[in-house]
Amino acid sequence: MVGQFPAQKGSWEAVLDLRKERKDDWWEVEALFDHCFAPGREALSSYRLRDDVSPISNLCFVAHDALGVLGGAIRSWEVVIGDKPVLLLGPVAVHPTRQAEGLGGLLINELLAQAESDGWTRVMLVGDYPYYRRFGFSKLENVTMPPPTNPDRVLGRALIGGAWDGVTGTVNKITVSLLDP
């Protein structure tokens, strides 16, 4: 267990257990993602970067409530732009009954802290800027995701100053991991 979370803002009556995802969590997390995302989520371009590539095990988290029900989950993958390793954050999802309690933020911040500690320097995702700007993400200029992707949704954040400087081009799937510890 790496942390706990009040199920309602300001309340510790129900507690969520936040920990690294384990192998036997896989299908429960898949079911949560199916529930939270529109049908056909795996047609999204970001999934082409994940095909046949394992997620980064140290950067995948699950949060269960006191009854053991999965409330939220986040995964991440390594991708490359040229020869530069990039952490691709997501998918992240919170069960509709747990949304707007801060759990999404908790999962994202936990992942970013662990990523920094593991030596990652730059993170990207495809998502809504109005949500992700609070975590320091902004639009990546001259970084291209596989089509079809709305360029306004291609967001990045440096974990150390200047980590995105000069990093431009197409985001590709890894063949050999450059950084996953």
Question: How near is the Cβ of 37 to ligand COA at its closest, in Å?
Answer: 5
Residue ranges in 42-81 that form contacts with ligand COA under rule CB under 6 A: none
Per rule CB under 6 A, is residue 99 in the interface with ligand COA?
yes
Nearest CA to 138 among 149, 147, 125, 148?
125
Q: How far is the CB of 57 from ligand COA (least distance, A)?
A: 21
Q: Is 130 a binder of ligand COA (CB under 6 A)?
A: yes
Q: Which is nearer to ligand COA, 67 or 100 (CB)?
A: 100
Closest of 99, 93, 53 to residue 77, by C-alpha: 53
Ranges within 104-123 binding ligand COA (CB under 6 A):
104-105
In whole angstroms, give the CA distance from residue 17 to residue 19.
6
Name the residues that contact ligand COA, by CB under 6 A.
36-37, 90, 92-94, 99-105, 127-128, 130-131
